Structure 1
Amino acid sequence: MSHGLGFADLERENALLVGIIEASSTGPELTALAAKVAPLIVTATSADVCFVHVLDDTDRSLTLAGATAPFDAQVGKVRLPLGEGVTGWVAGHGEPVVLVENKERDPRYRYFPELRGEDYTSMASVPMASKPSGLVGVLNVHTRARREFTDRDVRLLTSIGSLLAGAVHQARLHRRLAARERAHERFTEQVIGAQEVERQRLAADIHDGIMQRLVSLRLHLDAAGAALTEQTEFAAMQLARARTLADLTFDEARAAINGLRPPVLDDLGLADSLASLARSVDPLEVVVDVEDCPLPEHAEIALYRIAQEALQNVIKHAGTRSAGLRLHREDDEIRLSITDNGRGFHREGRSFGEDPAAGGYGMTSMAERAELIGGHLEVVSRPGQGTTVTARVPAP
């Protein structure tokens, strides 16, 4: 059998085809795919090494995505712009290149010390492309001994590249999607983090400014009241009213601080924080059923805020003194539910924020919080039959 691609037997080519199909079906991870197909190509083509270069997401440069030993350690480290080197030229022109010997004399050749080009005499470089996916990369094989790559050799390599193009295209799409999901998650963390920082700043401003002045005001009112005589009954009555208003304002400011900043999350975690929240919402009696559901910090904050808003809605609008709060995991979801047996409202067919009855109870903000962490909000309600608010978010 000739030492050339043109005489590769049918059995070897079939084994290559099966191997590529199996590698493509194992998963969408690009590096794993390239690592599996590179040795298959070496075996099928009787080459010594194989390099799989893939277009970056910018479509302006190529990255070594797969290689046979001993060059697998260079994967992800070797990059070159489109049009540079033999590989870049093949990608830019969409045409194969064969260099039988003296490749360093070719003006398109670029030397990479880490790839030890001086150890290999001949090379064939073909584009990895197909009509549905277009160009996705370049496939290179090298031999230590001098080798005349025939037209059939190049056609076989090109067919291999075309076969791989579809799988590589899908892997690139998956990589882009994963990158977007990571970017979205980082953005979500930053948005919720910024919200919490602003809430903490407002809480500190209220505590250090308004509440301190209220404390001072109460002290002055108490002193003035103690100095009054019985002949100044009207003034005493006015001072008593002023003191009452100051006390109410103080309580409201303290409640605002507690609502702006949930420090219990840092100390107790989500489940125990929700239980603590349920105990603090006078005059409601809340039946709590919570389990530990590990979530990222920004997701815990969002669910805590949803529970906070939903319980306040029960107090303001439901006309009942009892409610239920449940946090549990079901399959691949974390579910937070707040239920009451109050007056309810007509919910069917209405979107959040559409009218005061259907979405004016802070449900728009709850829905936005749920969506921000990749989940969604469900509200079930009927007049006289109570309301159930459920936030569903993906489990980690």
Structure 2
Amino acid sequence: MTTRGLGLDDPQRENEVLLAIIEATTSGPGVEPLAGAVARVITGATATDVCFVHVLDDTERSLTLAGATPPFDAQVGRVRLPLDTGVTGWVASHREPVVITGDKRADPRYVAIPELHGEQYTSMVSVPMESEPVGLAGVLNVHTVAHREFDDRDVRVLTAIGSLVAGALHQARMHRRLAAREEAHGRFAEQMIAAQEAERQRLARDIHDGISQRLVTLSYHLDAVATFLGRDEAAAARTDLTTASDMVLTTLDEARAAIGALRPPVLDDLGLSGALAALARGLPEVRVALDLEDRRLPEHVEVALYRIAQETLQNVLKHAGAEEVTVRLTTGSTGVRLEIADDGVGFDPAERTADRAGTDGAGYGLASVRERAELVGGSVRVTSRPGTGTTVTVTAPVDSEPFDEVSPRNT
């Protein structure tokens, strides 16, 4: 039995199909959902048995099956065809349609694809999906089990559909590339921060296990020598030993401070909110108000926000002349916000162009704050005027997974 054409001889029916295709192209930014929706519309409207939508890879050297009607939708993403291989590759390379109504194996361009069971289908039409602004986006194939006579009008209709789909597929491919780049940038930032923190931990361990331990041992020996020295004959030696002991203790304190700066243990022990509370309460002669949500965040975000708070609070001590500092930490399903406000002397941010270039001048040193925020995809806003204090607000994205229940900590 032979059937003729796509069954779209009625212009009204043809317009309905084209409108359905346009609606399918709005199914979302993803390449695969779009291609799958188009394949279903085509088979439903043309009474063909199966439709394959092959999309040009980003390398533009091969095609990938991006959409198919059941049962072949399970092969989406798995079937790849080099350009100029098989009928589909030939259509992509030559930008011309191909119609086969009988024995496909007799066509020298035909190459069997085992996953798509081409031997089960008798007739096929393959057209390039391309449009003037974007060029080739892929190849559209329809197949029928029964013998089907496809005429020039059928080819023109399918080519028009391919042209409509090409623009949407191009946009979807661009969206995918942008999303991949953003994801790669985010992973790079996380890996860089993780590498920095790993190096900080290594240095902290080296200082603790090496320099600090030797200083402690040296202090014990100095104390022992001082005990055995007589009071009269070795007064000068005792004075030198006391000075040496004092220097050892000072150096030991500095080593411990360096360890804390390299990797604050409080961040591991208490999380970000606890670490911020300890950091703020350690400010000398400054009243502290805390409003901190106690939620764990990704490690690279916690480290960045802790370093930002550390830098900002040091700037408050150096430059603000503040009597009170407020630290707030709030989180949502996809973002975190850190706000540090003081009632100090303030400044005009517009005049701090030197700070943006990486020099602190006489005001807040915000260059490193901005750099740390940008590394985790965040941003910094500074609000200040002379005589009105300063507020530094940092926002950063976090994973889209929901957080645990909020446990606010207020002081």
TM-score normalised per structure 1? 0.92
Within the alignment, does 1:386 sit opposite 2:389 as a pair? yes
**1:245 Cα deviation after fit:** 2.4
| 1:348 match | 350
| 1:60 match | 61
Q: Which digits, 9 at most, give the CA deviation of each residue in 1:108-151, with x for residues without a partner?
A: 11101121111111111000000111100000001111122111
Alignment coverage as a number of residue pairs: 394
| 2:156 match | 155
Q: In the aligned structure 2, how far is the partner of 1:53 from the partner of 1:295?
A: 41
Question: Which stretch has the larger CA shift, 248-257 or 346-355?
Answer: 346-355
**1:90 Cα deviation after fit:** 0.5
Question: Which stretch has the larger CA shift, 374-383 or 71-80?
Answer: 374-383
Q: In the aligned structure 1, how far is the partner of 2:24 from the partner of 2:298?
A: 34
Q: In the aligned structure 2, how far is the partner of 1:3 from the partner of 1:276?
A: 80
Q: Which digits, 9 at most, give the CA deviation of each residue in 1:356-384, with x for residues without a partner?
A: 326773x2222111001111122334444
Choose between structure 1 and 2 for higher RCO, CA contacts under 8 A separated by at least 6 residues: 2
Q: In the aligned structure 2, how far is the partner of 1:309 from the partner of 1:164?
A: 52
Q: In the aligned structure 1, how far is the partner of 2:164 from the partner of 2:397?
A: 36
CA RMSD of aligned residues (A): 2.3
Q: Which digits, 9 at most, give the CA deviation of each residue in 1:227-281, with x for residues without a partner?
A: 3333344443333333222222211211211121134444433223322333345
- Is the CA contact 1:291–1:328 (under 8 Å) kept in the aligned structure 2? yes
| 2:10 match | 9
Q: In the aligned structure 2, how far is the partner of 1:285 from the partner of 1:112?
A: 74
Question: Which stretch has the larger CA shift, 344-353 or 28-37?
Answer: 344-353
Q: In the aligned structure 1, how far is the partner of 2:283 from the partner of 2:262?
A: 15
Q: In the aligned structure 2, how far is the partner of 1:359 from the partner of 1:85?
A: 68
Q: State the identity as a percent.
A: 60
Q: Which digits, 9 at most, give the CA deviation of each residue in 1:79-129, with x for residues without a partner?
A: 111111110111111111111111112121110112111111111100000
TM-score normalised per structure 2? 0.89
| 2:78 match | 77
Question: Which stretch has the larger CA shift, 240-249 or 156-165?
Answer: 240-249
- Is the CA contact 1:353–1:360 (under 8 Å) kept in the aligned structure 2? no
- Is the CA contact 1:6–1:150 (under 8 Å) kept in the aligned structure 2? no
| 1:199 match | 200
Q: How does 1:1-396 map to 2 (within 5 A)?
A: 3-5=4-6, 7-231=8-232, 232-282=234-284, 284-292=286-294, 295-320=297-322, 322-329=324-331, 333-349=335-351, 350=353, 351-357=355-361, 361=365, 363-395=366-398, 396=400
- Is the CA contact 1:353–1:359 (under 8 Å) kept in the aligned structure 2? no
- Is the CA contact 1:345–1:357 (under 8 Å) kept in the aligned structure 2? no
- Is the CA contact 1:5–1:152 (under 8 Å) kept in the aligned structure 2? no
Structure 1's 42 and 196: CA in aligned 2 closer, same or farther, altered over 3 A? same
- Is the CA contact 1:352–1:358 (under 8 Å) kept in the aligned structure 2? no
**1:215 Cα deviation after fit:** 0.7
Structure 1's 85 and 303: CA in aligned 2 closer, same or farther, altered over 3 A? same
Q: Which digits, 9 at most, give the CA deviation of each residue in 1:52-87, with x for residues without a partner?
A: 000111111100001111111111111111111110
Q: Which secondary structure does the structure 1 equivalent of 2:148 belong to?
A: coil
Q: In the aligned structure 2, how far is the partner of 1:293 from the partner of 1:88?
A: 53
Structure 2 alignment gaps of length 5 or more:
401-411
Q: In the aligned structure 2, how far is the partner of 1:115 from the partner of 1:297?
A: 46
Q: In the aligned structure 2, how far is the partner of 1:75 from the partner of 1:260?
A: 49
Question: Which stretch has the larger CA shift, 252-261 or 349-358?
Answer: 349-358
Q: Which digits, 9 at most, give the CA deviation of each residue in 1:5-59, with x for residues without a partner?
A: 3743233323322222222223111111111111111122231110000011111
